[in-house]
Structure 1
Amino acid sequence: SLQRNHLESTIFYVLLIKQFPHSQGDLSNMKVAKKIFGFLFTSETLRSLDKDSLKSSCVNLGTTLMKDKQSDIDANDLFVELKFLQNFMPKENIGPVEILNFLKRHDCFPNA
């Protein structure tokens, strides 16, 4: 349901903020967190991105998580996996917990 997806997304934002305290900028602001991580939290949002928007979102995430000129993620690898995942995910809109469970079940997206 939409309410559950919203609650799950909010919980994930809070967890991400706590997980990446070294990231540039102020992630304590939920709007900033949503701008950086929001493309990852519903299958509908992820599927809605065209190639350029997805690439830009992955690069932005990689840059945000950069410390001492090294990123916690490889934006190019993430982009390739998410591009494939866009067509591989179930067609119904699922939230962040369901997406993570889906990834875990298939165990073929090490960067996503």
Structure 2
Amino acid sequence: MAVYDQMMKGLLDGAILGLIAQGETYGYEILEKLKLNDFPEISDGSIYPVLLRLDKKGYVTTRMVKSDNGGPKRKYYTITASGVEQLIIFKRKWTALNHGMNNLMRSVEDVK
């Protein structure tokens, strides 16, 4: 399962950056959007380290917002210019990799 975990780690960075690029959002909302888009096997424990890493790299900024219902504050994420650049690079590389993998997998479809 180690190979799968490594693939998911790389994909999550791009997927989460892509979601944040659509507009300011918070962790639980990101998790729900990933699930709605059929992203496999995602838990809240897997996205928060990614969000922290994206923040440390300067790809997102955060702000704390007080809850309307008296609950804990919520951390909202917004993509930075550097994050947009990284997302563009990710999309370019993902498109090429996806094309290559699809070609390869079509050639091994009969393997059981």
Larger of the two Rg values belongs to structure: 2
The alignment's TM-score, normalised by the length of structure 1, stands at: 0.30
Q: Comparing both structures, which one devotes a greater share of its residues to strand?
A: 2
Q: TM-score, normalised by structure 2?
A: 0.30
